[in-house]
Structure 1
Amino acid sequence: MAASPVGLSVASASPAPASPGKALPGWRIRWFWRWQAWRLRKAHSHEASHGVALYDSVHALDHLGYVDDFCELHAQLMRESPLLGCDAPAAFSRRLARELHGNCAMALLGAPDGSPVGYAWARSGLVAEAVQHFQQVQALGHLSSADWAELERRASALAGNGFVLALNGIGLAPRYRRGFAPLKLLLKPLIELGLQQGATRALWWAPRGSALHAMSLGFGAQKLLESPRIVCLMLADTRPLARVFAALPASGIADLLARVAPQRPPARTPPRLSAVPKKGSDEAAA
């Protein structure tokens, strides 16, 4: 998806998976979401997309004066990312111009004052087009030509000549990383966009070992390529998630995700330090 950090605190207070410490196989996770979608087939939407606006080009963003604020938020999140390589402002503007055209959309989440605090954008197209755009992301510059060829081969084996929804970026400001509601607001319209355009598969990348990586596996994504820094993933069928996103509130989706997502390692805490008296001071006191 992107290098921008996204929290997974939604699963911290939910029940643990049935097999603690052991990840569920991917086919079981995918069937889990298909079962949930079937169970919710007659349910109606519980939440509206308040605070999220959709744009289909850089010109639309610029017309409303959001380009500078959005680029500033993206740069801030990239500085927090452990990945190497950050787009310069001019390079990032060119990247947006390449990716925000045709069958595309950007979802911007706004704060009460109107400033952007979250974003996600995606395009529907062929696998080759998605890989071509990924190749121009600086944070992915460490991948070799053989890596790119293998990614395209594996993705094409799953998608064939059909369209895929390529998620090119996603990020949230730190204060909006608690709970699943902000992510649902950003992802729901993009998944629906892909289905309207015939893209039932989604392709993205995430920093290896990140919260986004764990969340992707929890939604049933398959790893197509893995490097020491990133993973490229594909979700073979977005229709069950579209049904779940439309029928359940964010808290309900978070509860389901916590049942199948791999458990993340506990947060590291600094060691406790205690003062040890010097040997000479002990003898003086005696």
Structure 2
Amino acid sequence: MQLLSLKCPNCNGSLKMVKEGVFYCQNCDSEFMADYDKDDVEYQKMKTEAELRKQQLNMAESGAAERARKAKDQFKIKLIGIAVGFILLLIIVVPTVIVTLKTQREAQEAYLQQQREREERQEAEAREREERLKQEEEERLAQEAAERQAILESYRLSTDEIVADSFFTENTNKTFLVQLWDNTNLFYDNWKWNEQPEYITSFFLTAKDEDDREQNILISIYKIHWDKEYEDRTEHYVMYDGACFYNISRNEDGTIRSDYAPDSLTFNSEIVANQFLSGYTDYDQLIRQEIYGNADYEYVEFTMPQDID
């Protein structure tokens, strides 16, 4: 027969010519007798080789395409992996970051809230402490004021008590007359009283010392008529002066006490007819200077009973 193929008709395996016209299948070990035509065989060999090359080329192209496809698939897989990893990262990390940030924010807000509450509590405590100290100070001042008031009440005198005191009612005028002579330079001839000093009014002055005790002063004002005799005439002069009793207060037994040493008012004197006379020539000036001028004192004007026997 004419050999048309170098393949085994049984298993399609490769045939090997072992001798002229005899072929051996390397796959199934079959032997075949063939009408061997060398040209046909050569042609068939070339055709087979061409088919083999074509198959190899196809296989190479298929392999390249497969490799390309696999590479593309691997690249896609990598991209998918990266995307999946990124998504997982987003799924895992982002919530974690969000939770962490939220936790930090909540912690910070809680801390700030605690700080505000602590500051508010401290401010409230400071206000309460300040109010308590203020109240204690007010209570202390009120107590001190009450104690001072009690002291003042115990030492305060009224004009009625002064009037009721026998020393002032019986001796004011007498002591004033003695003091008037003792405190003036009237030991000269030709000067005399035209009449007894005329009582005008009295002032009771009150002030507080450094211990808040009241300091009382009694001032009784008199009008003094002076006559000076000349060889050919007699001149009449009027002066205003008074008796001043200092340190008037109350004894523990309730009686009134004083130094009982009246002085001429501030020892003021004026020159009249070339002679120093005790007192003021102007009554209003005396009041302005000796009563209104004592700004630290409060005063009450009253009338003292007189006894000039």
TM-score normalised by length of structure 1? 0.24
- Using CA pairs below 8 Å that are at least 6 residues apart, which structure has the higher relative contact order? 1
Structure with the higher helix share, 1 or 2:
2
* Larger-Rg structure: 2
Structure with the higher strand share, 1 or 2:
2
